[in-house]
Chains A and B, each alone.
Chain A
Amino acid sequence: MMRLPPFRYLAPRSVAEAVRQLADHGPDAMVVAGGTDLYPNMKRRQFEPRVLVGLRGIRELAGIRGSARQGMVLAAGATLTQVSNHPEVLRHYPAVARAADLVSTPQLRNMGTIGGNVCVDTRCNYYNQSYAWRKAIGFCMKKDGDICLVAPGSDRCLAISSSDTAPVLWSLGASVRLVGPKGERVIPISALYQDDGIQYLTKAADEILTEIVLPPVDGLRATYWKLRRRGSFDFPVLGVGVALRMEGEVCREARIVLGAVASQPREAADAGRLLVGERLTPELIDRVAEAAAKPSKPLDNTDLVYHYRKRMTRVYVARALRELAGLPVGEFPLGMTARN
């Protein structure tokens, strides 16, 4: 049986109390929400916090509120199931519902939170292994070692951002509220990330993410496409979040954000620009998809061959755009077996 290392468990009743506890214990402490990312990692000893600050009992962190007109707020503690089943989210932000619904399995979505999903650890198949396995191959810099086994010349860790919801949230222009000992701040979600497999979040360790703020819908149309082998369990090995603001037939604003191609969600800004002021013709879509695939630089550290994943970037971006343009997309791939 894989077991957790020992720790103390604190159950604060408010965000303020949680922030205080985090500050009190400094680097010894970590927050845990659903635990679906942190506990497996702790069992493999990627993290060995002495103190866990559990967020489950905090009322403020529960619930989904707001409207299409004003924008919606997803509290960090909302489970992925709550997000994907919420009638308003489903109606007005179907891409968010779909991304949440495409995470792993029903059980994990009942446990995992949207806040945890946004903060989910980066992944690498040299790293998501047991302690004994990592010791056998030689520890890498993300934990216990000092080199990168995927790219031995690299001075930073190249583990992959693997959140399903982050690319969509970024494409929609969502923001996150962070609360720390020095107060709170709201930043665009794009500013939450940085391209470093270890320090993939810009948030301070003692800051708690309390909510995700979705902008008013206002003509935004978005979708999410996910590449993986199976229709459940599997993390994305490529995620494509696309949001367009349409004025009639013409695209006024476009954001294409790729997941699982770098240590952070990666916006294909050049490709997005090609869409602005244009109609979504099949020809344009192909050109945009071609451009979007450029920043996609997968490495050999997750499932499926990396050149295949690179090649699929073009296909998946094209299909996502075709879906938004109302063009036929063929059968949905197996990895997309979702209700939404």
Chain B
Amino acid sequence: MPEFLTLRVNGEPVQVIAPVHKTLLEVLREDLGLTGTKHGCELGECGTCTVLVDGEPVLSCLVLPVECQGQEILTVEGLAASGRLHPLQQAFAELGAAQCGYCIPGILLTSKALLDASPQPTRDEIREALAGNLCRCTGYTKILEAVELAALRMAGEERAAAGGLGARAAGQGGGR
């Protein structure tokens, strides 16, 4: 039976009418048009569908919207606050961390949760935090570098944090 639900997604209240057995993944994509959240298995085995619920990374393929009522759901569409890319998004774009980009929404959100909890993680800490997000394209190298760059910028240690949208900030990549 379809149920009427009120959720908070990306800082806004939204109303949905959906059968209770539809997962959050399905409702986000099919009922709310938020197709930025991807899926690779729907069984909890890949991490692609990761979203944040009250700031914690969870698998949207294994959670029901009824179970998230009253909680803050953040998807990749909500990461760029008021049109400005999150430093993670900026760093991922600049360093070529997104190849096909399919795993990237989930990885960005997991990384955000990490940096919110631990602003200056070591590379091993980043590896552990991202151990639940498979990526078949990148070998993770550029992803790890991008998280590090974002962390640096967010800590204000890198002047380039002021760099805006687009390729203007280009050329700072590849630094190692």
B132 cross-chain contacts in A, Cβ below 8 A: 104-108, 232-233
Question: Are the CB atoms of B131 and A105 closer together than 8 Å?
Answer: yes
Does A2 reach chain B (CB closer than 8 Å)?
A: yes
Question: Are the CB atoms of A56 and B67 closer together than 8 Å?
Answer: yes
A interface, size bucket: 20 to 34
- If A106-B128, A107-B50, A107-B58 touch, whether A8 touches B43 (CB-CB below 8 Å) is no
**Among A39, A43, A107, A337: residue with most chain B CB under 10 A:** A107
Question: Are the CB atoms of A35 and B66 closer together than 8 Å?
Answer: no
Question: Are the CB atoms of B43 and A35 closer together than 8 Å?
Answer: no
Question: Are the CB atoms of B66 and A54 closer together than 8 Å?
Answer: yes
A204 cross-chain contacts in B, Cβ below 8 A: none
- If A35-B63, A35-B64, A105-B132 touch, whether A1 touches B58 (CB-CB below 8 Å) is no
Question: Are the CB atoms of B42 and A43 closer together than 8 Å?
Answer: yes
B interface, size bucket: 20 to 34
**Which residues A314-340 have CB closer than 8 A to chain B?**
337, 339
Nearest chain A CB to B44's CB is how many angstroms away? 6
Question: Are the CB atoms of B39 and A8 closer together than 8 Å?
Answer: no
B22 cross-chain contacts in A, Cβ below 8 A: 3-4
Question: Are the CB atoms of B128 and A339 closer together than 8 Å?
Answer: yes
**Which residues A42-85 have CB closer than 8 A to chain B?**
43-44, 54, 56, 81
Question: Are the CB atoms of B129 and A39 closer together than 8 Å?
Answer: no
Does A133 reach chain B (CB closer than 8 Å)?
A: no
Question: Are the CB atoms of A40 and B44 closer together than 8 Å?
Answer: yes
Give the distance in Å from the alpha carbon of A252 to the alpha carbon of B132 in the complex. 40
- If A8-B20, A106-B57 touch, whether A231 touches B62 (CB-CB below 8 Å) is no
Does A36 reach chain B (CB closer than 8 Å)?
A: yes
Question: Are the CB atoms of B44 and A36 closer together than 8 Å?
Answer: yes
Does B158 reach chain A (CB closer than 8 Å)?
A: no
B45 cross-chain contacts in A, Cβ below 8 A: 233
B19 cross-chain contacts in A, Cβ below 8 A: 6
Does B56 reach chain A (CB closer than 8 Å)?
A: yes
Nearest chain A CB to B122's CB is how many angstroms away? 12
Question: Are the CB atoms of A231 and B44 closer together than 8 Å?
Answer: no
